[in-house]
Amino acid sequence: MKRVAIFGLGLIGGSLALALRDKGLAERIVGVEASEENALKALELGLVDEVVEMEEAIEGAGGEPRADLIVLATPVDVTPVLAVKVLNKVTAGQTVMDMGSIKEELCEVIEQHPARGRFVATHPMWGTENSGPEAAVHGAFAGRTAVICDREKSDADALATVEAMYEALGAKLVYMTAAEQDLHTAYVSHISHITSFALALTVLEKEREEEHIFDLAGGGFESTVRLAKSSPATWLPIFTGNKYNVLDVLREHIHQLQIIRRLLERDDHEGLAAAMKKANTIKRILP
Amino acid sequence: MKRVAIFGLGLIGGSLALALRDKGLAERIVGVEASEENALKALELGLVDEVVEMEEAIEGAGGEPRADLIVLATPVDVTPVLAVKVLNKVTAGQTVMDMGSIKEELCEVIEQHPARGRFVATHPMWGTENSGPEAAVHGAFAGRTAVICDREKSDADALATVEAMYEALGAKLVYMTAAEQDLHTAYVSHISHITSFALALTVLEKEREEEHIFDLAGGGFESTVRLAKSSPATWLPIFTGNKYNVLDVLREHIHQLQIIRRLLERDDHEGLAAAMKKANTIKRILP
């Protein structure tokens, strides 16, 4: 993999650029970035060698060869149409991958594209609450799971290119369908973000009247509310794009909170203790 | 402060013992611990020099002098009665403090005690999801806020002893009434724990049917669900002891989640974005 083009130089695209450089996996990295401000920042931070237009990123220019790997690290509402436009231009030796949090719509949109085999749909389970090129950090993806969706729809060499890249970054690969990934991700990622947003709103609602909240933000608050700092530009398209799964989980979460509320209202200490002990078994999943 | 007696050698009491030693703030630390298993572990880990009975911890034995500082780091349902028993035995030179998460009941119970002035009610805003002596860590409380409640009810020298200790540990002091502290702590600590418990239950509910949750636990899940590993023995008495504040916050939190649910159901993207932007302003509080 010599030449990499990254579309979207924010938290994910920027961190991938750093990781590829740190591991010596790319000789040259060009970026495509809709925001001029972010493009300048990305260059300033040395995330990419150059910011170019889409065509040049894919096809090269001035005798430069084509990109070996094209990465879409764009907001999930932008990715499906962008994926089609990119696939319209790629040739046999090129691999395209995305890194978005949802997959069903994307995979549906590219389903019948003649170059579908060149595309590998991926979701690395990594992120922070920060966004933009300044949010890019070294060491991202290492030790995390990277999901590859509908692998049988990717050409063997394209799949191998992406698998080798994630493995070189220290990620563990997991395979599932686009539909499965969207369901599971609603449980392990999207609901955590919604909970954090709601928790922040709960505290802000009260903070109008009260002042001491500032000083007291220890005691578990930071970790649960951290995700509420996340960018609406990233997360609104995720929630709306995964609407039915997110609503399903959100309804169950509200239901569980209502059960706890009722146990507390009724002074059912035994019931509360049993619920907490059951919740403790999450240690099985997260040791 | 030469001699310290710590009642309760779990996460908080154990971490305080380590911090006092690390900072050279105690010449001798004795512990009082109801669980024999925990007492043995605490000795094995070197958290305390000796585990003794309550009387000996307060009054000394065999010509040993009395404890200068007596710390109650017990579950909050045990603390009020224990505080009275301890105050029954202390003399003028001794200071007693607690480190629990709620204060109203405690302060009400000791209100009329003739030795009330020897007591300083405190709540350091620090903790982890782990419990027991093995959970004790170095460096706890540094950089965190420690709340001191109803300071005017403590004798000046007792208050100064406790303030000096927290400052030496690197904590920042904040003062409020017991009632204020219980209200604010419901917002910044108790609700985060309830949310985590409910989130764990939500995922466990679904995990019966689904397997992939294990692999995917990145993406924000650990940080929001971490607190669900917390001990019911610690947290049940906190939730029930602070029932009305916790219910108040819990109702508001459920209300906020229901607002988000309805916005998503109605495809009100503008409304969702506005809610997320408002939640983002939590950065003011947690930069």
- Of B206, B238, B282, which to mutate for an interface test with A (greatest number of A Cβ within 10 Å)? B282
Question: If phi over 0 gives left and psi between -120 and 50 gives alpha, with beta otherwise, what is residue A132?
Answer: left
Mean pLDDT estimate for chain B: 93
**Same domain for B25 and B65?**
yes
**Same domain for B78 and B134?**
yes
Instruction: Give the DSSP letter string of A33-89.
Output: -S-HHHHHHHHHTTS-SEE--HHHHHH-STTPPPPSEEEE-S-TTTHHHHHHHHHTT
**Same domain for A19 and A119?**
yes
Residue A158 is predicted with a pLDDT of 98
Whether A195 and B192 lie within 8 Å, measured CB to CB: no
Among A104-108, A204-208, B10-14, the least confident range:
A204-208
**Same domain for B15 and B153?**
yes
| The residue type at A140 | A
Residue B70 is predicted with a pLDDT of 98
Residue B196 is predicted with a pLDDT of 92
Whether A125 and B218 lie within 8 Å, measured CB to CB: yes
Contact status, residue A234 vs residue A102, Cβ threshold 8 Å: no
**Same domain for B141 and B246?**
no
Cβ-nearest to B220 among A192, A198, A260: A192
**Same domain for A141 and A19?**
yes
B141 CB neighbours in chain A (<8 A) are: none
B275 CB neighbours in chain A (<8 A) are: 197, 201
Whether B225 and A282 lie within 8 Å, measured CB to CB: yes
pLDDT mean over A13-24: 97
Residue A208 is predicted with a pLDDT of 64
B249 CB neighbours in chain A (<8 A) are: 202, 206
User: Is pLDDT at B111 greater than 70 in this prediction?
Assistant: yes
How many CA atoms are closer than 13 Å to the CA of A24, on its beta-carbon side?
A: 0
User: Is pLDDT at A15 greater than 60 in this prediction?
Assistant: yes
User: Is pLDDT at A286 greater than 90 in this prediction?
Assistant: no
B202 CB neighbours in chain A (<8 A) are: 187, 191, 249, 252-253, 256
- H helices, E strands: number in chain A: 13, 8
CATH number at residue A239: 1.10.3660.10
Residue B285 is predicted with a pLDDT of 75
Whether B235 and A176 lie within 8 Å, measured CB to CB: no
CATH number at residue B81: 3.40.50.720
Residue A124 is predicted with a pLDDT of 96
Name the packing angle between helices A191-207 and A243-265 (round to 10°).
50
Contact status, residue A111 vs residue A135, Cβ threshold 8 Å: no
Task: Pick the last residue of a domain from B123, B152, B176.
Answer: B176
CA distance A161 to chain B (A): 22
**Same domain for A96 and A163?**
yes
| The residue type at B227 | L
pTM as predicted: 0.90
Cβ-nearest to A216 among B145, B191, B195: B145
Query: Which tops the pLDDT comparison, A262 or B285?
Result: A262
**Same domain for B17 and B81?**
yes
- Of B148, B180, B193, B257, which to mutate for an interface test with A (greatest number of A Cβ within 10 Å)? B257
A142 CB neighbours in chain B (<8 A) are: none
Whether B272 and A240 lie within 8 Å, measured CB to CB: yes
Tokens for B262, please give them: 């309805």
pLDDT mean over B42-54: 97
Cβ-nearest to B197 among A124, A267, A276: A276
Residue B226 is predicted with a pLDDT of 87
Residue B286 is predicted with a pLDDT of 73
Q: How far is CA B283 from the centre of its chain?
A: 24
Among A4-18, B70-84, B214-228, the least confident range:
B214-228
Mean pLDDT estimate for chain A: 93
Task: Find the domain containing B226 and state its range.
Answer: 181-284
Residue A209 is predicted with a pLDDT of 57
Residue A285 is predicted with a pLDDT of 75
Partnered with residue B4 across adjacent β-strands are: B29, B69
A221 CB neighbours in chain B (<8 A) are: 188-189, 192, 286
Q: How many domains does chain A have?
A: 2
Residue A85 is predicted with a pLDDT of 98
A285 CB neighbours in chain B (<8 A) are: 203, 207, 213-214, 217
**Residue in chain B nearest A247 by alpha carbon:** B261
A252 CB neighbours in chain B (<8 A) are: 202, 205-206
User: Is pLDDT at A213 greater than 80 in this prediction?
Assistant: no
Residue A63 is predicted with a pLDDT of 84
CA distance B89 to chain A (A): 32
Task: Pick the last residue of a domain from A134, A150, A176.
Answer: A176
Query: Which tops the pLDDT comparison, B212 or A273?
Result: A273
**Same domain for A117 and A12?**
yes
- Of B184, B235, B268, which to mutate for an interface test with A (greatest number of A Cβ within 10 Å)? B184
Residue B217 is predicted with a pLDDT of 66
Among A149-158, B105-114, B124-133, B210-219, the least confident range:
B210-219
User: Is pLDDT at A236 greater than 60 in this prediction?
Assistant: yes
**Same domain for A253 and A152?**
no
**Same domain for A54 and A160?**
yes
B144 CB neighbours in chain A (<8 A) are: 218
Band (A239; pLDDT cuts 50, 70, 90): very high
User: Is pLDDT at B219 greater than 60 in this prediction?
Assistant: no
Whether A272 and B210 lie within 8 Å, measured CB to CB: no
pLDDT mean over B97-126: 97
**Same domain for A26 and A164?**
yes
Contact status, residue B119 vs residue B97, Cβ threshold 8 Å: yes
Whether A220 and B196 lie within 8 Å, measured CB to CB: yes
